[in-house]
Amino acid sequence: RTVYVNGEYLPEHEAKVSIFDRAFLMADGVYEVTSVLDGKLIDFAGHAARLERSLKELDMRAPCDTDTLLEVHRELVRLNGIEEGLVYLQVTRGAPGDRDFVFPDPETTEPTLVLFTQNKPGLADSPAAKTGMRIISIEDQRWGRRDIKTVQLLYPSMGKMMAKKAGADDAWMVEDGFVTEGTSNNAYIVKGNKIITRALSNDILHGITRAAVLRFAREAQMEVEERNFSIEEAQAADEAFVTSASAFVMPVVEIDGVAVGAGTPGHRAVRLREIYLDESRKAAV
């Protein structure tokens, strides 16, 4: 596999980052994951815009402009022959000469830019989309700036492990009695014609897929309600689903052992997945 590090395309075993890199020492880095369908990037502009926002919120320098990032994404997809899969991008505050809590001077410390691809044939035609996911609920113990897409992923990773140990596929996190989001996706319930999802704030990541799916839902004459919901309300809903760049729209069929609706993927979730895949393929770059 060919990867990209700070301006160079290299075989993965030749790619190197300093042990003093602040992402390695302090999780001082941000990332984006963009999916690839038919060899093209899905919603690249959305991911580039969110990256810019994450960098700004952390007072971090951009490694290059958006056009260059697009070029690097495309070149890696080409070099690795990706038809379906993902492009992972990470920007860190760089590697000053020593470990220090104080941010290094951006004039002298270059940000680190790393990209690699993941080949995932069958990503769009996933069997999980047909069976739906079983999820558990866990307490949300993450920090308070979940709107910034940092590489600080230990708690979500622990959450996935809790789900796995419980025999489930994923976890929804709950704070003050309400669902925030999934470990790596945004969470939704459906009641009648209404798609309900938590409103944007610092409590959740502003999903790029979320923005697109809510737009498609409105265009398909579904109602959208951005508000909090509890696990109890979700268990009693007609349908549930999650969205993310790598899972698109994924039905949820069970929450803490309770079947949602008929315990099979709901028709609105399935429809939104179809629309999302169709429209995203058309707009891919």
Any contact of residue 207 with ligand PLP (CB under 6 A)? yes
Q: What does 80-105 look like in DSSP terms, one character per residue?
A: TT-SSEEEEEEEE----SS--SSPPP
* Per-residue tokens: 240: 């549930």
In whole angstroms, the minimum distance from the beta carbon of 219 to ligand PLP comes to: 18
- With CB under 6 A as the contact rule, the residue among 169, 170, 181, 203 that binds ligand PLP is 181
Residue window 227-266: x/- pattern of binding to ligand PLP, with contact defined by CB under 6 A: ----------------xxx---------------------
In whole angstroms, the minimum distance from the beta carbon of 183 to ligand PLP comes to: 7
Any contact of residue 210 with ligand PLP (CB under 6 A)? yes
Question: Under 8 Å CB-to-CB from 261, ≥6 apart: which residues?
Answer: 237, 238, 239, 253
Q: List the beta bridge partners of residue 136.
A: 171
Question: Over the Cα atoms of the chain, what is R_g?
Answer: 19
Any contact of residue 90 with ligand PLP (CB under 6 A)? no
CB of 198 within 8 A of CB of 226?
yes
In whole angstroms, the minimum distance from the beta carbon of 210 to ligand PLP comes to: 6
Phi, psi of 16 (to 5 degrees): -135, 145
User: Which one is catalytic: 16, 56, 120, 149?
Assistant: 149
Annotated catalytic, 16? no
CB of 113 within 8 A of CB of 91?
yes
Q: First-to-last CA distance in the chain?
A: 22
Any contact of residue 138 with ligand PLP (CB under 6 A)? no
Phi, psi of 45 (to 5 degrees): -60, -40
In whole angstroms, the minimum distance from the beta carbon of 185 to ligand PLP comes to: 5
Q: Of 151 and 236, which CB lies nearer to ligand PLP in the complex structure?
A: 151
Contact residues: ligand PLP, CB under 6 A:
33, 181, 184-186, 205, 207-210, 243-245
Active site amino acids = 149
